Structure 1
Amino acid sequence: MDINAKMQKAFSDQITAELYSSNLYLEMAFWFRKEGWKGFANWMFKQSDEEKQHAMDMANFVLNRGGAVKIGTIEAVPNDYKEPREVFEKTMEHEKHVSELIHALAELAEDEHDRASVNFADKYIDEQVQEETSVRDILNLFRHRDGHTVATIDDIVGQREA
């Protein structure tokens, strides 16, 4: 069953949002590198790559169903931060926003009775739970390690492999 125009538009909008996310995390990685936080930069570079892969996965889904993808304007991302914790607080805000977008995509798929899109969106709902948990764990490190240095957190976060 081919994907309908309404779902194509919704997926194109989500693809644009995923590419914005990729750019946001790439900019954050650059900020961390500039400030000398190699571990945090490593985490953000990987996060940026992951978001770009999400966009590609969604685009392939639409194309495989006979649809077309139209990438919208990707707005400039912020690049001025004061400290590492602030960057991860902004990351959590952003991930919650992306979760809302994915839920809206899933709800539209349900309204359109597009079972394939519902199933596809469901995996990203699960992915967003993991994304928020990962960032929450980092924020918890900041909160619970007040007696330790941020450099210790940088080292822990830098151990991310995928």
Structure 2
Amino acid sequence: MLSPKMEKALNDQINAEMFSAYLYLAMVAYFQDKNLSGFANWMTVQNQEESFHAMKFFRYVAERGGRVTLGAIDKPQFEWESPLAAMEAAQQHEAYITGRINDLMNLAIKEKDHASANFLNWFVAEQVEEEDSVNEVVQKLRMVGSNGGGLFMMDRDMATRVFTPPVE
């Protein structure tokens, strides 16, 4: 059984994950508008991952006897100065989500909720991968700079990313 504090925090995280999916969907539209279909594909995969994360939290709350309560999702930013600025925004957002996951883990430990701590371990590891993935793109975009050929090559590479749901 979840404590009221843990249930509220997990519901808040469902909202944060849904906002992440929505933000990345806004980035899909941005990249499509810039004719960067590979970047749009990369962000589509991000959107799918965040939706998966939200549902993983959703199922967990229900499995622990909690009540899922969905809140409004804020309107995401939808315009960026450049592809680099969009990816830097994604990088900052992933760091924010990592902080939220760490706060959830701290709460689970404080509440002596070992089941939630165990559940959250998956997300702790996942955020390492999430931050690394977006950081790699940011670093490559910084190397490419204003070189259109480099951006074209990156766009082609980004088109190969696919969403593979993790085994639960």
TM-score, normalised with respect to structure 1: 0.95
The aligned residue for residue 68 of structure 1 is: 67
Q: Residue 106 of structure 1 aligns with which residue?
A: 105
Structure 1: tracts of 5 or more residues without a match: none
What displacement does 1:145 show? 3.4
How many residue pairs match? The answer is: 161
1:69-88 deviation line (CA, Å, top 9, x unaligned):
11122110011112111110
Distance in 1, matches of 2:83 and 2:10, equals: 32
Residue identity matched to 2:86:
V
Instruction: Give the Cα–Cα distance (whole angstroms) in 2 for the partners of residues 140 and 76 of structure 1.
Output: 28
For 1:120, the equivalent position in structure 2 comes to 119
Q: TM-score, normalised by structure 2?
A: 0.92
* CA displacement at 1:49 relative to structure 2: 1.1
2:156 maps to 1:155: yes
> Sequence identity, in percent?
36
2:166 is matched with none
Deviation digits for residues 97-138 of structure 1 (CA, Å, limit 9, x no counterpart): 000000000000000000010011111011000000000111
Give 1:81's aligned residue. Answer: 80
Q: What is the SS of the residue equivalent to 1:153?
A: helix
In the TM superposition, structure 1's runs of 4+ consecutive aligned residues that sit over 4 Å from their partners are none
Distance 2:8 2:76 in 1: 23
1:58 aligned residue: 57
Q: Secondary structure at the match of 2:20?
A: helix
- Looking at structure 1, the residues matched to 17 and 40 of structure 2 have their Cα atoms a distance apart, in angstroms, of 19
> What does residue range 2-21 of structure 1 map to in structure 2 within 5 Å?
2-21=1-20
- Counterpart CA distance in 2 for 1:90 and 1:132 is 12
Partner of 2:40: 41
CA RMSD of aligned residues (A): 1.1
Q: Does 1:31 align with 2:30?
A: yes
Q: Distance in 1 between matches of 2:154 and 2:140?
A: 7
Distance in 1, Cα, partners of 2:73 & 2:31: 22
Give structure 2 stretches of 5+ with no counterpart: 164-168
Q: What amino acid is aligned across from residue 128 of structure 2 in structure 1?
A: V
Shift of 1:45: 0.8
Q: Which amino acid aligns with 2:60?
A: F
